[in-house]
C-alpha cells in the first residue's frame, strides 16, 4: 500500500516539476505579469484620454469630443443616419498613446540588453 502511495507521490512531483519547467521554458509567468500590467495600463490610458485629453480637445471644438457626430438622410429609406466619429477619434488617441508607451519601453529594454529582436 505504501509502495503505491510512494509512486503516486513521485508522479505528482514529476508532474509539478514538469509544469514548473514548462512555465520557466516558455516564460508564462512573465507573460502573465505583462498581461496584467498591460490591462491596468490600458485602463489608465483610457481614463487619461476620456477625462483629460477629450475635455482639452473640447476647448477647441464645439461640445465634447465623444459627442461629435455627422447626421445625414439615407437615400433609399429616408431615415436619418448618424455617424459618431468622436468616439473613434478618442480610440485612435488611446491607441497612439499605448503604442508610444510600448515603443518607449521596448527602446529602454533594448538599450539595457533585455529585449530580444
Q: Indicate the pairing of strand 80-83 with strand 70-73.
A: antiparallel
Classify the phi-psi angles of 80: left when phi > 0, otherwise alpha if psi is within -120 to 50, otherwise beta: beta
Backbone torsions φ then ψ of 22, nearest 5 degrees: -60, -45
> Which CATH number goes with the domain that contains 91?
1.10.1200.120
Share of the chain above pLDDT 70, in %: 87
* Residue 81 β-bridge partners: 72
What was the pLDDT predicted at 3? Answer: 56
Whether residue 116 is contained in a domain is answered as no
Structural domain boundaries enclosing 42: 2-111
CA dihedral 82, 88, 89, 94 (to 10 degrees): 160
What was the pLDDT predicted at 1? Answer: 54
Question: What confidence tens digit (pLDDT) does each residue in 64-109 have?
Answer: 777 788 899 888 888 898 888 888 888 898 888 888 888 888 888 7
Whether residue 36 is contained in a domain is answered as yes
What was the pLDDT predicted at 9? Answer: 57
Q: pTM, whole model, 2 decimals?
A: 0.59
pLDDT band at 11 (very low <50, low <70, confident <90, very high): low
Whether residue 77 is contained in a domain is answered as yes
Domain count, the chain: 1
Task: Write out the three cell numbers for 55.
Answer: 475635455
Backbone torsions φ then ψ of 77, nearest 5 degrees: -95, -20
Whether residue 117 is contained in a domain is answered as no
What was the pLDDT predicted at 67? Answer: 79
CA separation for the pair 15, 116 (Å, rounded): 30
Amino acid at each position: 500500500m505504501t509502495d503505491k502511495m510512494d509512486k503516486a507521490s513521485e508522479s505528482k512531483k514529476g508532474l509539478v516539476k514538469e509544469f514548473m519547467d514548462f512555465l520557466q521554458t516558455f516564460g508564462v509567468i512573465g507573460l502573465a505579469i505583462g498581461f496584467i500590467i498591460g490591462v491596468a495600463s490600458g485602463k489608465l490610458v483610457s481614463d487619461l484620454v476620456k477625462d483629460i485629453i477629450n475635455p482639452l480637445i473640447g476647448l477647441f471644438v464645439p461640445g465634447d469630443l465623444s459627442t461629435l457626430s455627422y447626421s445625414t438622410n439615407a437615400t433609399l429609406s429616408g431615415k436619418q443616419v448618424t455617424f459618431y466619429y468622436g468616439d473613434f477619434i478618442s480610440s485612435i488617441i488611446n491607441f497612439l498613446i499605448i503604442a508610444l508607451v510600448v515603443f518607449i519601453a521596448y527602446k529602454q529594454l533594448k538599450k539595457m540588453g533585455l529585449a530580444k529582436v
